[in-house]
Amino acid sequence: MNTKYLLFSVLVFSCFLITNDVSAETGQFLTLTASPDTIDVGQSSTISWTTNASFCNAPSLFEGSAWGGGSGSYIVIPDSTKTYDMTCYWQGGGGSLTKSVTINVSVPQLFGFSFPTSDTNLIKGSTYTISWINDNAGSYGYTAYLGTGVATNGSNLETIIRTIGAVNSNARNEFSWTVPSDLSPRSDYRIEFRSPGGGGGVSAPFTISRSDNANPAPSPIPTPTLLFLGDSERLQKIAQLQTLLIQLIQQLIVLLQQ
């Protein structure tokens, strides 16, 4: 046999073994791939495998007993970058092969409100600038809601009182909002932003009140009519009050002496 041809054949077969994860000694092979291998949070990826093993298992993919070899696929939705392992076995002392594949998950930057904050007191009927921080907002718009409490997922309101409306993302990340006059005063209001891309968040609790003061100012005490009388009339009224006061004191003294 031509030596060059033999060397070329060996090289080609070796490349085939490497490319298909085949054991050169036993002919065992296992391929494991993820498509796509980079996703955004909330998206899915399909993990596929092909093998001539007797049976395999992959506890990082799904629970349960091992299954026979061959080909298959499984859809995953990881919430962070994750590596999946698969181990396949060959009967008759054929050993095993383990392969891994990693899916990279891009998580949006955390959303945060600059205003309102936990010490904010908003006045019904007044207009304020609501602002937030989120570098990954992109071209997404938000739907803003007013409510109370935080759901167990930490990203949504527990109770929605009303919809504020659509809010477009802009370079300054802010919009003007006039506090409705029909809201009841309370100190546990929150604003939530929701985005089609999964972004947004919930503000800290803040207060909505009728005025800047927690307690309404008391009504002014009416000025006695006497202060609006003319000088002569005022003096006459004072004299009459003095006479009445003297009479009351004299009666009190008599009662005490009895």
pLDDT per residue as tens digits for the range 246-255: 888 888 888 8
Question: Number of folded domains in the chain?
Answer: 2
| Mean per-residue pLDDT, 39-43 | 87
Among the residue ranges 154-158, 204-208, 229-233, the one predicted with the least confidence is 229-233
Confidence of residue 12 (pLDDT cuts 50, 70, 90): very low
Residue 61 carries which DSSP code?
Answer: T
The answer to whether 132 and 223 are in contact (CB under 8 A) is no
Does 17 score more than 50 pLDDT? no
Are 84 and 159 part of one and the same domain?
Answer: no
Q: What tokens does 47 get?
A: 């993990």
Residue 234: what pLDDT?
A: 66
Predicted TM-score (pTM) of the model is 0.42
pLDDT in tens, 107-165: 666 678 889 999 899 999 999 999 988 755 444 678 899 999 998 877 789 999 999 99
CATH of the domain at 125: 2.70.50.50
Are 58 and 11 part of one and the same domain?
Answer: yes
Residue 212: what pLDDT?
A: 62
Does any domain span residue 201? yes
Are 175 and 119 part of one and the same domain?
Answer: yes
Does 21 score more than 80 pLDDT? no
Are 96 and 182 part of one and the same domain?
Answer: no
Residue 29 carries which DSSP code?
Answer: B
Does 207 score more than 80 pLDDT? yes
Does any domain span residue 228? no
As a whole number of Å, the end-to-end CA separation of the chain is 150
The answer to whether 113 and 201 are in contact (CB under 8 A) is yes
* Domain closes at, from 53, 82, 106: 106
The residue segments making up the domain with residue 127 are 112-209
| Mean per-residue pLDDT, 4-17 | 42
Does any domain span residue 254? no
Residue 33: what pLDDT?
A: 95
Are 85 and 129 part of one and the same domain?
Answer: no
Residue 100: what pLDDT?
A: 94
Mean predicted lDDT score pLDDT of the chain: 78
Residue 2: what pLDDT?
A: 54
Does any domain span residue 252? no
Are 26 and 99 part of one and the same domain?
Answer: yes
Does any domain span residue 258? no
- Tell me how crowded residue 71 is: count the other CB atoms within 10 A of its CB: 9
CA distance 207 to 257: 63
Residue 147: what pLDDT?
A: 95
With tokens 């809010």, the residue in question is 167
Residue 197: what pLDDT?
A: 67
Residue 232: what pLDDT?
A: 67
Residue 245: what pLDDT?
A: 82
Residue 101: what pLDDT?
A: 96
